[in-house]
Amino acid sequence: MAQPQTVLIVDDMPDMRSLLRATLLKLGITSVVEAEDGAQALAIYQQDNIDIVFLDINMPGVTGLELLVELKRIDPKVHVVMVSGESSMSNVRAAIGFGAKGFVVKPYSADKIEEALKRFS
């Protein structure tokens, strides 16, 4: 199974982006791009060749779920893993219902991130 080459992290919290970036680099991902909001994420996704998106649900402005819907509209094959500090069943169900390929609860563990990467194909 192919490992993703380029990962986009979308999270409004800089420390969460840094933590996830460090974890991805440790797991062998060589190219990590970051966005702090939905508008920035859309611009990056449309101009870069992104393999997988780690997307925070709770962000100001455009929520992660709204961005997920928009990414799916642009590219139905987009591989999105939702991340959230709140793992309520309604969040998980909504994310999967909108087409997310996985859900990782913050704080991240390397095992959970690695598991999400393994589902990438």
Question: Residue 4 to residues 15, 32, 38, 42, 66: CA-CA distances in angstroms?
Answer: 23, 10, 21, 19, 24
For residues 50 and 4, the model is more confident at 50
* Per-residue pLDDT, 108: 83
Q: Which two tokens stand for residue 96?
A: 């999967």
* Per-residue pLDDT, 1: 46
What's the pLDDT band for 106 if we cut at 50, 70, 90? confident
Q: Using CA atoms, how far apart are residues 66 and 74, in angstroms rounded to an integer?
A: 13
What's the pLDDT band for 4 if we cut at 50, 70, 90? confident
- Structural domains present in the chain: 6-61+79-109 (3.40.50.2300)
For residues 4 and 98, the model is more confident at 98
Per cent of the chain over pLDDT 70 is 97
What number is the average pLDDT over the span 9-18? 96
Is the pLDDT at 121 greater than 70, yes or no?
Answer: no
What number is the average pLDDT over the span 2-11? 88
Residue 70 contacts residue 42 (beta carbons within 8 Å): yes
Q: 3-class DSSP state for residue 18?
A: helix
On average, the pLDDT of the chain sits at 92
